[in-house]
Amino acid sequence: MRYHRRDVVERAIAVLDEYGLESLSMRRLAAELGLQPSALYHHVPNKQTLLAAIADEILARGRRERQAVEWDRRVVEICCELRDAMLAYRDGCDVVATAHTFGLGASEPATALRAALRDSGLPDDLVEVGTRALLHLVFGHTAEEQAALQAASAGAIDWEPGGTGDFEAGIGLLLDGLRSKVHR
Amino acid sequence: MRYHRRDVVERAIAVLDEYGLESLSMRRLAAELGLQPSALYHHVPNKQTLLAAIADEILARGRRERQAVEWDRRVVEICCELRDAMLAYRDGCDVVATAHTFGLGASEPATALRAALRDSGLPDDLVEVGTRALLHLVFGHTAEEQAALQAASAGAIDWEPGGTGDFEAGIGLLLDGLRSKVHR
DNA sequence: ACCTGAACACCGTTCAAGT
DNA sequence: ACCTGAACACCGTTCAAGT
């Protein structure tokens, strides 16, 4: 059977979700598709690129309509969408955050947050600082939450994840800081 | 020659700083010490534990006196000390942040931040949310900064790191949010 | 206590060759 | 265009045996 890039990315996400990032090797993925490892390099130049494609696909699958009009409500909406998208797949936060760090894709949320902050009337440098701070908070909180959720579902119930409340509280603190800088 | 745990950790930090995290393998470290790979397992139960020990040592080497008395100045002091400690070694942020995420050591900064926020009179839940948010900001910003610094020193000068200004601005935004929650 | 030697079960990537 | 087969240069970890 003959595959295309899209098939490889889709199967990679399935392997990721079922067995976790540490089990998602090029050799394992090839075996899952009934291919030799070398065949994968026809569809993807290397593993890093594959992971970036997975990150983009995870974000695309988590996309939903954004309806808020005020800039601060929109920030919360974007952050929650990002968090939910990453939580929907095992190790999703790891994959998306890494891709973002390496500057390979996963850039839509950053763009959307920047646009929202720009609409607030904040000066350019604060737009930039705020965007990055918001992303760090979302990635940091979600990574912790996902680790806790996965540890709990593996039986090691050592910590109840703060959940949505803690998440929105953290974002809220930063948003308070940003709002105080908007001169009306 | 006979080694102790301390020698192994010290040599591991030297390898990390000179060749980077991706080159710090158990086999490479063993070779650097003139040992068989299996000999390392006499000093350390596994690689994860070694990395946690490295993280703790990096933080210990970056320790400095904290002199601020007001809680918010102390928060800035702790965050800056943490950032500087991690920036002092190649891939230091990666190692410390990972150890912290896995709950293996690297816990002193969290403890110190929690204590500072407690002194502010903030309610317990906000102390917790604030501590984690501050750590996420420090790790997120420092990871980005260190990646940019290392890319720049490797010749790929694609982005000037925001530096201390951007760092303190991000922390400052969150601190504004926290200060607005302190009832006086 | 600390170390060697050998093995087990893996990695990512390249490249000539096949259809 | 898509794939096989074989190879290269690696991993972390275990375990019996040596001193």
CA–C1' B29–C3 (A): 15
A141 CB neighbours in chain B (<8 A) are 132-133, 136
pLDDT of residue B160: 65
> Is the pLDDT score of B158 beyond 70?
no
Q: pLDDT > 70: what percent of chain B?
A: 96
- Domains of chain A, first to last: 5-45 (1.10.10.60), 66-179 (1.10.357.10)
Q: What is the pLDDT of residues B80-102, one digit of tens each?
A: 999 999 999 999 999 999 999 99
pLDDT of residue A15: 98
Taking CA atoms, what residue in B is nearest to A181? B173
Token pair 């990453």 is found at A86
State whether the beta carbon of A67 lies below 7 angstroms from any atom of strand C: no
> Is the pLDDT score of B60 beyond 80?
yes
Q: Does B22 touch chain A (CB under 8 A)?
A: no
Query: Where does chain B have alpha helices with state H?
Result: 5-19, 26-33, 47-61, 71-87, 92-101, 108-119, 124-153, 163-179
Average pLDDT, chain B: 95
Neighbour-count burial for B155-184, b at 16+ CB within 10 Å, e otherwise = eeeeeebbeeebbbbbbbbbbbbbbebeee
CA–CA separation, A147 and A93 (whole Å): 9
CB-based contact B137 A135, cutoff 8 Å: no
State whether the beta carbon of A179 lies below 7 angstroms from any atom of strand C: no
Neighbours of A55 (CB within 10 A): 25
Q: How far is CA A11 from the centre of its chain?
A: 19
Indicate which of B159, B167, B173, B179 best probes the interface with A, i.e. most A CBs within 10 Å of its own CB: B173
Q: What is the pLDDT of residues B31-42, one digit of tens each?
A: 999 999 999 999
pLDDT of residue A20: 98
CA–CA separation, B11 and B15 (whole Å): 6
The residue among A39, A43, A175 whose CA lies nearest residue A120 is A175
pLDDT of residue B149: 93
> Is the pLDDT score of B157 beyond 70?
no
pLDDT of residue B163: 84
pLDDT band for position B183 (cuts 50, 70, 90): confident
pLDDT of residue A161: 63
State whether the beta carbon of B37 lies below 7 angstroms from any atom of strand C: yes
Q: Does B178 touch chain A (CB under 8 A)?
A: yes
Residues of chain A with pLDDT under 50: none
CB-based contact B133 A132, cutoff 8 Å: no
Residue pair A151/A158 in contact (Cβ under 8 Å)? The answer is: yes
Across the range B4-8, mean pLDDT stands at 97
The residue among A159, A143, A141 whose CA lies nearest residue A151 is A159
State whether the beta carbon of A27 lies below 7 angstroms from any atom of strand C: yes
Smallest CA–C1' separation from A33: which nucleotide? Answer: D3
Residue pair B99/B55 in contact (Cβ under 8 Å)? The answer is: yes
